[in-house]
Structure 1
Amino acid sequence: MANRTTLKDVARAAGVSQMTVSRVVRGDTVVSLRTREHVERVIGNMGYVPNKLAGSLARAHSNQVAVLIPSLVNNVYTSVLAGITEGLERGGYNPVVGVTEYDLQKEEAQLISMMSWRPAAVILANLVHTDRTRSILENTPVPVVEIMDISGDPIDLCVGLDHEAAAATLADYLMERGYRRFGYLGWQTNDFVAAARFRAFRARLETRGYGLVAPDVYDAPPDMPAGKKGLEMLLSVAPKTEAVAYSNDTAAMGGVNLCLELGMRIQDDLAIAGFSGLRMAQCLPQPLTTIRTRRRDIGKTAARNVLKRLSGTPVERKVDFGFELLKGQSA
């Protein structure tokens, strides 16, 4: 955590008066365009966020924690959010939630809005952010916890798992089961940890002389309809595919549905594997082979580490929850 950047700091760095900075922040047209652009550049570089709370309110204790997650449609993040909420409530704090839809610019805009109300802490997904977001987080004095991914260097704290190791473990298992022609279906455009798993899965296959059939055949948000449609497209291009890995369990269940509709024997005619370990995927007639992640525990630990940091208790900078390979009956 850093000392909070103030309006006075910005004025000093920009070489202008505090009143000028205040006018730029308020959008006052009396400031020349040249000066405005200069001050705005300094504001961006310093990660300064104007305080919308006036006077005594600005000094009041806040019990709000900013939480930015990519999706509430994805069942993974509903579990994470449940853990965050449970953990924060124990300390008398409440989450204020923003949904970024895997859009870094939207994450940045929501963070700026939330920071202007002076939250007690920030919890947000993954380690990839815009430069402006990173600057704001690096310059805030409140705790920052990045969740789900631990593969890089966190801004402050992080809680999650090694996605590349998880993908490699799944690839090894499928190869050990004797499969040789592999497909992979998932959304790589904006979901950075899903993209990392895809790369790691593919790289692991290549170490054994295998590859992916039609790796670019489908790139869409991984829900159940997309999983069904993606498999249909994959099989039309590569009908001899033996095993398909999905970027999450929800999409994988869409693939299972397609197999049932086509009369294909799951595991024998086509193996299907997922990621995340959703309960409903384990309730299928043939439980899904997948990687189970401790999503709720990740959320609870992120919240607990916020409370520890706020109370001055030492906190482990990086917490790895690991993962578990579930050897289901789909692969």
Structure 2
Amino acid sequence: MANRTTLKDVARAAGVSQMTVSRVVRGDTVVSVRTREHVERVIGNMGYVPNKLAGSLAQAYSNQVAVLIPSLVNNVFASVLAGITEELEKGGYNPVVGVTEYDLRKEEAQLVSMMSWRPAAVILANLVHTDRTRSILKSTSVPVVEIMDVGGDPIDLCVGLDHEAAAATLADYLMERGYQRFGYLGWQTNDFVAAARFRAFRARLETRGYGLVAPDAYHAPPDMPAGKRGLEMLLSAAPKTEVVAFSNDTAAMGGVNLCLEWGMRNPDDMANAGFTGLRMAQCLPQPSTTIM
């Protein structure tokens, strides 16, 4: 945590008065375009966020905690949010939630909006952010917690798992079971941890001389309908596939449903594997292998 950047700091760095900075922040048209653009650049570089509570509350921070997650379609994040909410409420805090849809620019915009209300802390998923987001988080004096991933350079606190190690472990397990024709479905390039799992899974197979059948057959959001459609497309392209690893258990559940429709036995005819260890995935008539 660092000392919070103030309006006075911005004015000093920009070489203008505090009133000029205040007018730029308020969108006052009395400021010239050249000066406005200069001050806005300084604001962006310093990670300054205006305080909307100033003058209305005596306390420096609210009892709200900013929580930014990439998706609510992915059941993992619904469970994570439930856990965060439960623990925050014990301490008298309330989560204010933003859904970024795996869009770093949207994450940045939501963070700027939330920080203007002086949250008591910030929780956000993953370790990849825009430069401005990182600047804002590094300049704040409240705790910043990045969750879900530990494979990078955290800004402050970090809680998560090594996704590359998890993917490699799953690949090892499937190879030890004797599978030789592997498929992989349901990853998105803007979901950085899912993409990391995909790369690590494929790389581990390659160390033993294996590859992926139809590796580009289907890229889509990791949900049940996408898992079902994706498996159908993959099997059309590579019908002798022996095992398919899905980006997460939700997508794997869609794959299991397709196997049930087609009368395929899991794992005898073809095996399904996923990530995240969702309990509901183990309630299917033919549960898939998972890792968490």
TM-score by length of 2: 0.97
Q: How does 1:186-265 map to 2 (within 5 A)?
A: 186-265=186-265
Secondary structure, aligned partner of 1:273 = strand
Secondary structure, aligned partner of 1:260 = helix
- Displacement of 1:152 in angstroms is 1.0
1:174-222 per-residue CA deviation (whole Å, 9 max, x = no partner) reads 0001100100002222111000000000000000000111111111101
Contact 1:2–1:140, Cα closer than 8 Å, also in 2: yes
Contact 1:51–1:58, Cα closer than 8 Å, also in 2: no
- Displacement of 1:239 in angstroms is 1.1
Report the more deviating stretch, 72-81 or 140-149.
72-81
- Displacement of 1:61 in angstroms is 4.4
Q: What runs of 5+ residues in structure 2 fail to find an aligned partner?
A: none
1:84-140 per-residue CA deviation (whole Å, 9 max, x = no partner) reads 111111111111111111111111111000000000000000000011111100000
- Displacement of 1:286 in angstroms is 2.4
Q: How does 1:88-103 map to 2 (within 5 A)?
A: 88-103=88-103
Pair 198,134 (structure 1): closer, same or farther in 2 beyond 3 Å = same
RMSD: 1.0
Pair 6,134 (structure 1): closer, same or farther in 2 beyond 3 Å = same
TM-score by length of 1: 0.86
Pair 246,152 (structure 1): closer, same or farther in 2 beyond 3 Å = same
- Distance (Å, rounded) in 2 between the aligned partners of 1:109 and 1:211: 40
- Displacement of 1:287 in angstroms is 2.2
More relative contact order in 1 or in 2 (CA 8 Å, sep 6+)?
1
1:116-173 per-residue CA deviation (whole Å, 9 max, x = no partner) reads 0000000000000011111100000000000000111210000010111100010001
Contact 2:122–2:142, Cα closer than 8 Å, also in 1: yes
- Distance (Å, rounded) in 2 between the aligned partners of 1:58 and 1:221: 45
- Displacement of 1:54 in angstroms is 2.7
Aligned to 2:163: 163
Secondary structure, aligned partner of 1:180 = coil
- Distance (Å, rounded) in 1 between the aligned partners of 2:266 and 2:59: 60
Q: How does 1:304-315 map to 2 (within 5 A)?
A: none
Secondary structure, aligned partner of 2:211 = coil
Secondary structure, aligned partner of 1:266 = coil
Report the more deviating stretch, 244-253 or 261-270.
261-270
- Distance (Å, rounded) in 2 between the aligned partners of 1:96 and 1:214: 42
Pair 43,181 (structure 1): closer, same or farther in 2 beyond 3 Å = same
- Distance (Å, rounded) in 2 between the aligned partners of 1:49 and 1:58: 18
- Distance (Å, rounded) in 1 between the aligned partners of 2:62 and 2:260: 52
- Distance (Å, rounded) in 2 between the aligned partners of 1:109 and 1:223: 26
Pair 221,38 (structure 1): closer, same or farther in 2 beyond 3 Å = same
Secondary structure, aligned partner of 1:244 = strand
- Displacement of 1:59 in angstroms is 3.3
Q: Moved runs in structure 1, 4+ residues, more than 3 A? A: 58-61
Pairs aligned (count): 290
